[in-house]
Amino acid sequence: MTDAILQIENLTKQYSGFLLDHVSFSIPKGSIMGLIGENGAGKSTTIKAALGLIKKEDGKVSFWGQELSMNENLREDIGVVFDGINFYETLTPAKVGSISNAAYKQWNSSLYSDYLRRFKLPADKEIKEFSKGMKTKLCIAAALSHNPKLLILDEATSGLDPVIRDDILDVFLEFVQDENHSILMSSHISSDLEKIADYITFIHQGKVLFCKSKDELRYRYGIIRCKTEVFHSIDPSEILACRKDDYQWNVLTADKESARRKYKNAVIDDASIDDILLLYVKGEQPK
C-alpha cells in the first residue's frame, strides 16, 4: 500500500501468556481499516503499542513516515476514541472543550460546538448524566474537533444501540470524504465494519491472519457447505479454514467462483466477516 498514513511493521509485544507476533499492516490515505479479532486477539494491544501507550519489543510504527516518539506534533493530527469515556464524570462538554482547546493548537471551537449541536449534547450538563451513546458521541466530537487526519477508534461503538451506531458510522464516512483522512477502527461488530471499512485486518492469537480489501472478502471469499465425501475431494490448498457441524462441513475458501465450478455437489455461500472470523477462530486450519 502506497501513501500510507499509518504503517505498522513487525510490531511485537510479549506478555506472560500472550504474544503480539510481528503484526504488520498499513492504512492508505482516504480509507478505513477495520481491525477484527476475538477478545484478547491483540487488537487493543496493537493500537496501544502503535500509540506508544505500551512499549513494543520489536517493530516499527510510523505515522506519515515518522515515528511518534520522534515528533510529538504528529499527535495533533491523530484523534483517538477509546471504549468508554476518558473524562471525569463531573466535567461538562463545555469544560471538555476548554481542556481540549488548551491541548491542541489545531482545536476548532466552532466545529466542536457544531458537533455538540449535531449530537444533541448539552454543553453544560455533567457527563455523569449522559447515556453511553452520548458519552461516545462526546468523545468523537472531541476527537474530531482538532481536525485530525487519522482517527483511531478502539471498540468505540461497542455497547451502543444500532441507531446511535448508524449515526456515528455516518460521521466516520463523512470524515473519510477528505482523501487525506483515514480511520483505524477496531470492533467486535462486524456489521459496522462491513458497512464502512475499505480494508479488513484480522488478528487471531496475536498474529495477523490476513489484511485484505473488504471487496475481496465480499466478492471472492465463500463457504463451501458439503458432506464428508465432498470435503475429502477438496484440494487442501483451497481450504483456508474448516469446521464440521453435525451434518456438514463448512469450508472457507478464497475463491468461491472456482469452488462453484469445481464442487457441484456442494452449496457455496457468500462469506460474511462474521463467518470468516468464526471459521478461523473456531475451525481448523490446514497445516
Partner 1 sequence: MKSLVLKDLYNISHNSKSMLFILLFFAVVFLPSSGIQGYVYTCALLCSMMIVTTFSFDERSNWTPYALVMPVSRNDLVASKYIVLFLFSSIGVLFGLIFGTIGGFIHRTMGIVPETLSEMPLSMAALTALAFSTVFGSISIPLTLKFGAEKGRILVFASVFIPVAICYIAYRLLAALGITMTDSLLAALLYASPAIALIWNYLMFKISCSIFSKKEF
x/- string (CB under 8 A) for partner 1, residues 33-52?
Answer: ---------------x--xx
| Residue (69 or 237) nearer to partner 1, CB | 69
Judge contact between 210 and 286, C-beta under 8 A. Answer: no
The reply on whether position 262 binds partner 1 by CB under 8 A is no
Judge contact between 101 and 142, C-beta under 8 A. Answer: no
What is the separation, in whole angstroms, between the first and last Cα of the chain?
28
The reply on whether position 58 binds partner 1 by CB under 8 A is no
Residue 144 CA to residue 148 CA, distance in Å, equals 6
* Among the listed residues 57, 58, 67, 89, the single contact to partner 1 using CB under 8 A: 89
x/- string (CB under 8 A) for partner 1, residues 91-120?
Answer: x---x--xxxxxxxx---------------
CB of 101 to partner 1, least distance (A): 8
The reply on whether position 158 binds partner 1 by CB under 8 A is no
Judge contact between 34 and 197, C-beta under 8 A. Answer: yes
Q: In which region does residue 205 sit, left (phi positive, over 0), alpha (psi from -120 to 50) or beta (all else)?
A: left
Judge contact between 28 and 4, C-beta under 8 A. Answer: yes
| Residue (88 or 219) nearer to partner 1, CB | 88
Cell of 92: 461538562
- Subset of residues 160 to 199 that bind partner 1, contact rule: CB under 8 A: none
| Residue (145 or 190) nearer to partner 1, CB | 145
The reply on whether position 67 binds partner 1 by CB under 8 A is no
Cell of 280: 478461523
Residue 79 CA to residue 68 CA, distance in Å, equals 14
- Residues near partner 1 (CB under 8 A) are 48, 51-55, 72-73, 75-76, 78, 80, 82, 84-91, 95, 98-105
